[in-house]
Structure 1
Amino acid sequence: MNKMSFIGGVMTILMVLQCTEAVTVHVVGDGLGWTVPEDISAYQTWASINNFALGDILSFNFETNRHDVAEVPKGSYESCTSNNTIGTIITTGPTNITLNRSGEHFYICTIGQHCINGQKLAINVSATPSTGALPPSTGALPPSTTTTPPPPFSAASGSALASVVLLLFSLFLGVAF
């Protein structure tokens, strides 16, 4: 009986560990931080080598009152205007933003000419960690809508369901034996 209880306990621990999903903290621009870059495409390049998934965190490192962060629709991103911000403009740095919806996300600095000089970020957030950033903007495109459909059933949620079933089975074995 002790051997089966031990096995059930180990299986329970393994299932709990499997249910926890890894969250990635992305420091925007890495060592550059959130500032006006020397290379106008610096944030596009940075975004292109990162994958963004639901639950991940964007960490914007900037000095309060010198920069800010605003999430904006695609049209505002492309024209570098702070019209129609999504949520409030964050003026206190550093700050973290949790990616809580899939799809395109656009961020700009609204201070002075910072956005026009390259302090803007476009990413694509996937329901699973399989896609990267948006390609660089090549011209005026129609603005995207801000409504996002709910994410489809994913392999990650199926894996979580399988883990719960296995957890219940291991508990049954622990009680039965």
Structure 2
Amino acid sequence: MAAARRGRGSASGAMVVILCLAALLMEAVPAATAGKTYYVGDAAGWGRNLDWWLAGKTFYAGDVLVFKYDKEKHDVTVVGGKGYRRCKVPKNKNTVVMHSGYDQVTLRRGNNYFICGMPGHCDNGMKLAVKAL
């Protein structure tokens, strides 16, 4: 009979250890669905030279960037690394160009690149590179 009790005690002890480990892991890993919302450029909105705005922020896949701007003067174009570095809007049908003045983009894991596609704007610093974990 002592052996039977020991067996049940071991199983419940192992279960407690497993539950504690699961709780610790849930706190250590950021939730993929948490999705924090960021307003690009804060009150100033989508504009030039936004490195100051990026400073100190950690972005995760699922976070949302909100681009606020004058839709008569600017846009938000999603580009790859080459388009970002060269300030060139790709000439293909899959290029995403937004121009509502209040665009929301959900970040994907890795590098996310955005430029203003209006002539000269990106070359003058209206671009943003965000790495999401």
TM-score higher than 0.5: yes
On the 8 A contact 1:44/1:122 being kept in 2, the answer is no
Gap change, CA 1:121 and 1:52, over 3 Å in 2: same
> Is residue 92 from structure 1 mapped to residue 100 from structure 2 by the alignment?
yes
Q: Which residue of 2 aligns with 1:12?
A: none
Aligned mates of 2:126, 2:36 — CA distance in 1: 22
Q: Which residue of 1 aligns with 2:85?
A: 78
On the 8 A contact 2:46/2:68 being kept in 1, the answer is yes
Q: Which has the higher contact order (CA 8 A, sep 6+)?
A: 1
Aligned length: 104
Q: Which amino acid aligns with 1:53?
A: Y
| Runs (4+) off by over 3 Å | 18-21, 84-87
* TM-score normalised by structure 2 residue count: 0.69
Aligned mates of 1:87, 1:54 — CA distance in 2: 20
On the 8 A contact 2:32/2:61 being kept in 1, the answer is no
Higher Cα radius of gyration: 2
Structure 1 residue 23 displacement after superposition: 2.1
On the 8 A contact 1:72/1:84 being kept in 2, the answer is no
Gap change, CA 1:53 and 1:91, over 3 Å in 2: same
* Aligned ranges 1:10-25 → 2 under 5 Å: 21-25=33-37
Aligned mates of 2:56, 2:67 — CA distance in 1: 17
Structure 1 residue 20 displacement after superposition: 9.1
Aligned CA RMSD, in angstroms, stands at 2.3
* Aligned ranges 1:161-176 → 2 under 5 Å: none
**1:100-156 deviation digits (Å, cap 9, x = unpaired):** x20011100010211011110001011xxxxxxxxxxxxxxxxxxxxxxxxxxxxxx
* TM-score normalised by structure 1 residue count: 0.53
Aligned mates of 2:114, 2:52 — CA distance in 1: 15
> Is residue 46 from structure 1 mapped to residue 53 from structure 2 by the alignment?
yes
5+ residue gaps, structure 2, are 1-26
5+ residue gaps, structure 1, are 1-17, 127-177
Aligned mates of 2:32, 2:106 — CA distance in 1: 17
On the 8 A contact 2:87/2:123 being kept in 1, the answer is yes
Hey, which of these two has a bigger chunk of strand by percent?
A: 2
Identity of aligned residues (%): 31
